[in-house]
Structure 1
Amino acid sequence: MSLDDLDENVTANYAALGEETTVDLDPETRNELAMLSAAMGTDTDELLRRGVHALFQQAVSSGDLDFHLRTGYDVTYDEYLAGATYEEMTGADQYPERDEDRRYNM
């Protein structure tokens, strides 16, 4: 897969999410969410938004997001943000492959 494939999938997923998403919560998650809501005095919608932001930031900081993007799409998050791969940005993809057998032939 490529940078274009990733961009198409992100766009499709964004559209599929819409404005609201319903999630079934298991008892442990429901208990933790209730505890956070009571302790912080914040509604559950805001806590869920914060949770997604925190998970995203942790995945970016740890390199986990880049690992999964490189595995699935052969790009990094920085390349996605730039809209081009490192090879495209540096021009490395513009040169033909060297033929090692004919390297010193004149």
Structure 2
Amino acid sequence: MALNLDDVARLAKLARLAPSPEQQATLLTQLNGFFEHVEAMRAVDTRGVQPLYTPLSAVQEVSLRLREDAVTESDQRAANQACAPAVEDGLFLVPKVIE
């Protein structure tokens, strides 16, 4: 997937940036280099490879230190919503901002 200067200009506009033409050329080179790396990674066959939850597990056995999944705090919804300007059925009511 090769980008061109029009793509860079569109991305810059979306990011609210105003790069100079020289900077756009540099960005084009950098972005195309990035996408070359992505394509190289996509080309690697990873079927049958188990995902790692930590990079250390590739070289040594790592035991997970998981805590017991237990409720440790009481329900304080009413106290937390006491200072809210509008609440209904346990939910905060906010003004509509999108039509």
TM-score, scaled relative to structure 2: 0.28
More strand by share: 2
**Greater C-alpha radius of gyration:** 2
More helix by share: 1
